[in-house]
Structure 1
Amino acid sequence: MTNPIKSRLAKGGMIPAAWVELGYPDIAEILVRHGWPVLVVDGEHGRGDLEDWVAILRAAEHAGGEVILRLPDDSDTMIKRALDRGFRSFIVPMVNTPEQAARVASAFRYPSRGRRGYAAPIVRASDWGARPDYAREEAHEELCIMVQCEHVEAVENLDAIAAVEGIDMIFLGPNDLAASAGHLERMEHPEVQALLARIEETAARHGKPLATVRGAGRDWADLERLGYRIVVGINDVSLLIEGAGRARAELPDGTAPATVRRY
């Protein structure tokens, strides 16, 4: 079995994706059925816990989609449990040093490639033991691991982070990056734009694919031109806010919808 996201990445081009923040399987299924087959479940800032996210994973896969899980942290326990429950594509937040990146990469893989704890015959990831070669041959091949570069410290260390074996992609977080540089909610500030360019140059030099969110003054076409391979562009909360605002504006009193800051 292969990871469809890795297969799509191998074919080239940009993969658009949608955030799932509210933590409901029905929302995930609706998004997949209406043109968003790649979803990013936001375990860092969104609603729910691991079992909520597994329900989303099941709904998305049933509808023909695929899920990337942004973990709430980089703990071995969280990584191990998410792997066992069947996730195979991940974003790990706030990875600032090569030592942290190496520890993260090791946590995702069974020995001798890493230190993932063993329970392969009894977990969802192996189809409850129906895949006898899961631990030895398949598990590490299915993984797509992205570490999030979202702090000025990570930019300083990105050469070494990008060289860590087992890290597949760099996920650029422009909002937190801007904040770490003293420019909270000002992603278009020249200093922030220079940091983004520096990340893009470093990743290209290492042949490391990039992912990010739409924003920072750059839209879909800009990001595709810059070589980003995964771009998360919409989220369920904003879609609900915008839809509610448009519907309210159609009423006779003409109340204007609220302005939505895109994530």
Structure 2
Amino acid sequence: MKVAARDLVRNVVKEKLARDEVALSMTVRLVRTAEIVTIAKTAGFDTFYIDLEHSTLSFETASQICLTAMNAGIAPFVRLPNLAPDVIARILDGGALGVIAPHVESAEQAKQVVKAAKFPPLGERSHGGVLPHMGFRSFPAAEVGEAVNAATMVVIMIETKEALEAIDEIAAIDGVDLLFIGTNDLCASLGIGGQFEHQLVHDAYAKGIAACRKHGKHLGVGGLNAHPKLVAQFVEMGARYVSTGTDISFLVNGASTQAARMRDL
């Protein structure tokens, strides 16, 4: 039976968002082997993102983890170290199903990320031959482009006052799928560092959710894993992607809890 390219690549996060369900993510900054994929799946996460901005992980390591995740049915994303088009292309060609773009403060910057991440006609991504997303099978370029474009997510970080001011214009860009609020950095930019319950934070999420609804996009919550009540509030308002914490924090918290429990004996 002939296999179509679109039948080989799927993104469970896109599917959950289309059903208006919440997608849960963890962040990979420490673990350098594919075991992290099995841990994420066993724990019940829908996706993870490999943070190349705040870690020493390599492109090669990210690719190996992404390849394992695709085969496990978990959507692998990568947080970019910068917005260079060649970096975006290498990460996606290596097996990622989405890129998370930091330091975007304008619609024009968001448009450039889309151009680098999407094949024509939506973007300018170059076809580099067979892709791991297709199981390294050969298909016509147009078929590959359509299938991979449909599955690949472009996530734009909203982490500064300038990005927040331009959030409606950013959400309007064709090819942007999700706006992801980095609450820590946004608070710092707004002059309210660490004040997560400040009205300005609530207003930022309300503005982001309104922009996403207006343009048919989705909003993500980041940096609030220690504040579950706030996360619940923003999900109730309409956020549908939640970053829950890093592999480092999970390991430290679990180890600390167990050490304390044993000392109490």
1:149-207 residue CA offsets vs partner (Å, 9 max, x unmatched): 11100111112111111111111111111111122222223333333332233333333
Query: Counterpart of 1:250 in 2: which secondary structure?
Result: helix
Indicate which of 14, 22, 29 corresponds to 2:38: 29
Paired residue for 2:58?
Answer: 49
Indicate which of 137, 140, 149 corresponds to 1:132: 140
Q: Distance in 1 between matches of 2:57 and 2:115?
A: 26
Q: Distance in 2 between matches of 1:31 and 1:221?
A: 21
Q: TM-score, normalised by structure 2?
A: 0.85
Q: Distance in 2 between matches of 1:172 and 1:196?
A: 8
Which residue type is aligned with residue 231 of structure 1? Answer: V
Paired residue for 2:250?
Answer: 239
Paired residue for 1:260?
Answer: none
1:1-263 matches, cutoff 5 A: 1=6, 2-24=10-32, 25-121=34-130, 123-133=131-141, 134-213=143-222, 215=224, 217=227, 218-252=229-263, 254=264
Does the 8 A contact of 1:102 with 1:164 survive in 2?
Answer: yes
CA 64–141 in structure 1, closer or farther in 2 if over 3 Å, else same = closer
Please tell me the root mean square deviation across aligned C-alpha atoms, in Å. Answer: 2.3
Unpaired runs of at least 5, structure 1 = 256-263
Which residue type is aligned with residue 222 of structure 1? Answer: Q
Q: Distance in 2 between matches of 1:6 and 1:159?
A: 21
Query: Counterpart of 2:210 in 1: which secondary structure?
Result: helix
Does the 8 A contact of 1:23 with 1:46 survive in 2?
Answer: no
CA 105–63 in structure 1, closer or farther in 2 if over 3 Å, else same = closer
Of Structure 1 and Structure 2, the greater helix share is in 2
CA 13–111 in structure 1, closer or farther in 2 if over 3 Å, else same = closer
Unpaired runs of at least 5, structure 2 = 1-5
Identity rate, percent: 30
